[in-house]
């Protein structure tokens, strides 16, 4: 199988990171418009649809990844985050876990909310209680996953047997914390 290489097709790849800073996201989109890029794949849950539509109006193909952005004409490629939350939680329950901690993303992010809803619905449908002390919020960063896990361990000790992390970076932080504190827990990374 031959792999597709952008360079072999005459394209370069420009990556703009905003680190979840809304002003930087807006500046990045303005930069892309001025660079006359051939296309853009955008991953953001907070950017305004009208900013994306500025790219579209310049005949720049755009696709939005992982989050629907209201008021834009751009197509979106989405994950069924609710079903992901259901499947991950059910997997842990099927392994015998009954006290499952959850590190959720910011409440304003739709994918984080729907993943958490999948978790809570699945816990309830299996007759398991949802302990609010086992739910911590992060900001999708490694550091917030580490801090949330540290709070979980300090506040509830061994009161849970698994951690469901809402995103991979927070899960990496959680795994580092678990290792640093000499504990063993099963993690689900989404």
pTM tops 0.85: no
- 11-77 under CATH 3.20.80.10, yes or no: no
Q: Max Cα separation, the chain?
A: 56
User: Quick check: do 11-77 and 81-189 share a fold?
Assistant: yes
For the chain, 190 residues long, the average pLDDT of each consecutive 10-residue run is 61 77 82 82 74 82 79 82 95 95 90 94 97 94 95 88 92 93 75
CATH architecture of residue range(s) 81-189: 3-Layer(aba) Sandwich (3.40)
The pLDDT score that the predictor gives to residue 8 is 74
Domain ranges of the chain: 11-77, 81-189
Backbone angles phi, psi at 102, to 5 degrees: -135, 125
125: Cβ contacts below 8 Å, ≥ 6 apart: none
Q: How far apart are CA 22 and CA 28, in angstroms?
A: 10
* DSSP per-residue letters across 143-164: HHHHHHHHHHHHHHTTS-SEEE
The pLDDT score that the predictor gives to residue 121 is 98
């Amino acid at each position: 199988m031959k792999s597709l290489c952008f360079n072999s097709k005459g394209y370069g790849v420009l990556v703009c990171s905003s680190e979840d800073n809304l002003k930087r996201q807006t500046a990045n989109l303005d930069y892309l418009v001025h660079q006359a890029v051939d296309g853009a794949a955008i991953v953001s849950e907070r950017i305004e649809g009208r900013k994306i539509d500025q790219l579209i109006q310049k005949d720049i193909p755009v696709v939005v990844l992982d989050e629907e952005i209201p008021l834009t004409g751009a197509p979106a490629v989405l994950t069924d985050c609710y079903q992901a939350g259901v499947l991950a939680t059910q997997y842990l329950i099927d392994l015998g876990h009954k006290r499952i901690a959850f590190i959720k993303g910011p409440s304003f992010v739709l994918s984080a909310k729907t993943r958490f809803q999948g978790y809570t619905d699945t816990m309830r449908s299996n007759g398991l209680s949802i302990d609010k002390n086992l739910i911590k919020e992060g900001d999708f960063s490694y550091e917030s996953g580490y801090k949330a896990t540290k709070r979980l361990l300090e506040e509830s000790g061994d009161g849970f047997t698994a951690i469901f992390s809402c995103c991979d970076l927070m899960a990496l932080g959680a795994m580092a914390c678990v290792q640093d504190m000499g504990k063993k827990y099963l993690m689900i990374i989404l």
